[in-house]
Amino acid sequence: MENALLLGASGGIGSALVKALSSRGVAVTGLSRSEHGLDVTDEGSIASALAPLSGPYDLIFVATGALEINGARPEKSLRDLNADAMLNQFALNCIGPSLALKHCVRLLPRDRRAVFAALSARVGSIGDNRLGGWYSYRTAKAALNQMLHGAAIELGRTHKQAICVALHPGTVATSFTEKYVGNRPTVTPAEAANNLLGVFEMLTVEDTGAFFDWKGDTVPW
Q: Which CATH number do you get for residue 102? A: 3.40.50.720
Full domain range(s) for residue 175: 3-213
Contact in structure between 217 and 167 (CB atoms under 8 Å)? no
Give the mean model confidence (pLDDT) for residues 61-79. Answer: 95
Q: Is 134 left (phi over 0), alpha (psi -120 to 50) or beta?
A: left
Determine the pLDDT at residue 180.
65
Integer Cα distance of 117 and 203 in angstroms? 11
Q: Is residue 71 part of a domain?
A: yes
Q: Which helix (H) or strand (E) holds 167?
A: strand 162-168
Per residue in 143-199, pLDDT (tens digit) is: 999 999 999 999 999 999 999 999 999 888 766 666 665 667 788 989 999 999 999
Does residue 112 fall inside a structural domain? Answer: yes
Query: CA torsion sign, 73 to 141 to 19 to 102?
Result: negative
Q: Is residue 221 part of a domain?
A: no
Residue 120: count of CB within 10 angstroms of its CB: 27
Total number of domains constituting the chain:
1
In a domain, 129, yes or no: yes
Task: List, in sequence order, the alpha helices (H) in 51-124.
Answer: 83-90, 96-104
Rg (the chain; Cα; Å): 16
- Position 220 in a domain: no
| 156 lies in some domain | yes
Specify the pTM: 0.94
Q: Which amino acid does the sequence have at 117? A: A
Q: Is residue 53 part of a domain?
A: yes
Q: Please check whether residue 135 is in contact with residue 84, taking contact to mean a CB–CB distance below 8 angstroms.
A: no
- Tell me the pLDDT tens digit for each residue of 28-54: 999 999 999 999 999 999 999 999 999
Q: Does 207 map to a domain?
A: yes
